[in-house]
Amino acid sequence: MKTVLDKYKSYEDAQKNFKWSERWEVFDGNKEKFNIAHECVDRHPKEDEAIRIKFADGKEERYTFQQFSDATSQFANYLKNNGIEVGDRVALLLHPRFEFYVGMFGIFKRGAIVIPCSPLFGPDATGYRLEKGNAKAILTSKNMTHLIDEDIKKKQNIKVIFAEDLLDEISGESKEFETFTSANDMAMIQFSSGTTGAPKTVNYRHGAITVAAPFIRFALGVRDEDEYFCPSSPAWGHGIWYGTIAPLIFGKAVGTYSGKFDPDMCLEALQNFEITNMSAISSHYRIMLESPNVDKYKVKLKRATYTGEPMSKEVAELMKEKWGVYPYGLYGTTEVGPLTSDFAGFDNWKVKPGSLGRPSLGSIVSVIDEEGNELPPNTVGQMATKRGDEWVRVGDMVYKDEDGYFWYVSRADDVIISSGYTIGPIEVEEALMKHEAVEECAVVGSPDKARGTIVKAFIKVKEGFTPGKELEEDISQFVRTKLSKHEYPREIEFIDELPKTPDGKIRRKVLKEREIEKKKDQM
């Protein structure tokens, strides 16, 4: 699908000449008549593949745009005939499956509003979203009904639709549905991951995909000849925007994974779907590349992007060694959108492995101090983006090098100040991960009378290793050989599982609060 975006051949060319008004030329609709489902589903060649799903049990499913378009129209008619009005909110609580995508785009088509919910949530988290979002219906599976609070269900009179019955229930509905939303109509309510405080609502309108299109073409580098894959859950921003909407805008099939992450199954998906362009969180790549079977699969990647967490240079180099490509970094937040990235869409782009890339088109991004002053290159400060005349801090400590590339240091509230030294946990974690016994780890500051704060590591060990004093001392000495003497973990605690958000990010805040509570009587 050739578009006006394809005329830009370099980052410098796009920064200088790209006009945001051009994004509308990618689509059929305009500001007055615009619908995500039409733009992502209905207008593409019916015989082309639209969805490819790899399941944890090895099963694979594929669906065409014809099947996708027909089913979403039937579901839109079903919603209309069952009392779901334009502007009503409908929740999705499902792992990736055909019914999930029929649900999401059928809701868009109807003019109702999607509320994505993760199957990894507990009842409280699901209930919070149903209540805060004022959901009128929910599409889920029968084995997830325990996640739906009965009191909220009754209070809001929420209609429960089961995925197992969906295709039969809508089979009698018309396969035609005329969309009538505008670009300014609400389409989706996402919730921030909630690592600090209650999750916050972030509202998206149908026209949001017009802003996403240049980023997808320029940063993700999705091209006409690509076969695309993203294993991130479509209950979260990366899986929604990069995993689902990104390829469909340009008529490319969604390639996804459903179930508990299995590196070999994902490698098999890359092989069987002949994937050339992939986007994932960095730990997915690390786990796949560390699989003992990684060399058994024929991987044809030409471009790979990552987001969600930093990637070590070691993993980036391993990807280059195994698959012949360096990964391109993507950085942004649910609240403010994409801020910086590498640009996989431009052949002349220079990747600096491990960096966050340079500012996205249209973004003013800088590194500032506590007073809001911009800092010079190679000086650590807070990442911030301009909104009007104000700097908006995004909560991460970074620095910018002489070439304008940004580098992640840590979350602003994760920085460890020990005996006057400023220590970022990521560097310590990367060193720990090089030890043969370490499966996963998290580093936080733990209160200490002498130093104010010390570096403490929480470690999950690999199978075959025994936690204990001997291993603790071995790991500490190992890290001392990798980092400055003040950076090694002075305390290590072995842990069965690290606390994580439902989208897989380690919750250092939980560990940090645990340490503060445990040591409050010692300070």
Mean pLDDT of 392-421: 86
CA 327 and chain centroid, separation: 15
Mean pLDDT of 357-369: 93
CB-based burial, 132-169: b 16+ in 10 Å, e otherwise: bbebbbbbbbeebeebbbeebbeebebbebbbeebeee
d(CA 224, CA 219): 15
**The pLDDT of residue 198:** 64
**The pLDDT of residue 523:** 57
Encoding tokens for residue 334?
A: 């649910």
Collect all residues with Cβ–Cβ distance below 8 Å to 502 and sequence separation of at least 6: 118, 120, 121, 125, 193, 235, 236
CA 147 and chain centroid, separation: 23
The crossing angle, in degrees rounded to 10, of helices 469-480 and 425-432 is: 120
Number of helices followed by number of strands (H, E) in the chain: 16, 24
- How many other β-carbons are positioned within 10 Å of the β-carbon of residue 56? 14
Beta strands in 124-250 (DSSP E): 135-140, 159-162, 186-191, 201-205, 228-229
Q: Per residue in 200-254, pLDDT tens?
A: 899 999 999 999 999 999 999 999 999 999 999 999 889 999 999 999 999 999 9
Encoding tokens for residue 45?
A: 């060649």
Q: Which helix (H) or strand (E) holds 64?
A: strand 60-64
| C-alpha torsion angle, residues 496, 414, 361, 239 (rounded to 10) | 20
d(CA 125, CA 146): 12
Q: What does DSSP assign to residue 268?
A: H
Look-up of token digits 């594929």: 62
d(CA 247, CA 515): 44
The crossing angle, in degrees rounded to 10, of helices 263-272 and 282-289 is: 90
Q: Tell me what the pLDDT averaged over the chain comes to.
A: 93
pLDDT interval class at 452 (50, 70, 90)? confident
The separation between the first and the last C-alpha atoms of the chain, rounded to the nearest angstrom, is 63
Encoding tokens for residue 130?
A: 């149903």
**The pLDDT of residue 411:** 74
Q: Per residue in 136-166, pLDDT tens?
A: 999 999 999 999 999 999 999 999 999 999 9
Encoding tokens for residue 288?
A: 């796949």
Instruction: Specify the pairing of strand 390-400 against strand 381-387.
Output: antiparallel
d(CA 257, CA 321): 25
pLDDT interval class at 196 (50, 70, 90)? very low
Asked if residue 352 has pLDDT above 90, the reply is yes
448: β partners:
452
Domains and CATH numbers, the chain: 1-30+208-363 (3.40.50.12780), 32-42+64-206 (3.40.50.980), 364-411 (2.30.38.10), 415-519 (3.30.300.30)
Mean pLDDT of 420-437: 87
The number of CA neighbours under 13 Å toward the Cβ of 46 is 5
Of 518, 495, 512, 413, residue with least CA distance to 456 = 512
Mean pLDDT of 37-46: 98
Instruction: Specify the pairing of strand 416-418 against strand 303-307.
Output: unpaired
CA 203 and chain centroid, separation: 17
Three-state secondary-structure class, residue 40: helix
CA 25 and chain centroid, separation: 27
Mean pLDDT of 383-409: 93
pLDDT interval class at 124 (50, 70, 90)? confident
Collect all residues with Cβ–Cβ distance below 8 Å to 213 and sequence separation of at least 6: 3, 5, 23, 26, 27, 249, 250
Higher pLDDT, 334 or 52: 52
pLDDT interval class at 504 (50, 70, 90)? confident
Q: Which helix (H) or strand (E) holds 67?
A: helix 65-81
Three-state secondary-structure class, residue 142: helix
Lowest mean pLDDT among 3-17, 295-309, 327-341: 327-341
Query: Do the Cβ atoms of 241 and 27 come closer than 8 Å?
Result: no
Of 516, 497, 483, residue with least CA distance to 442 = 497
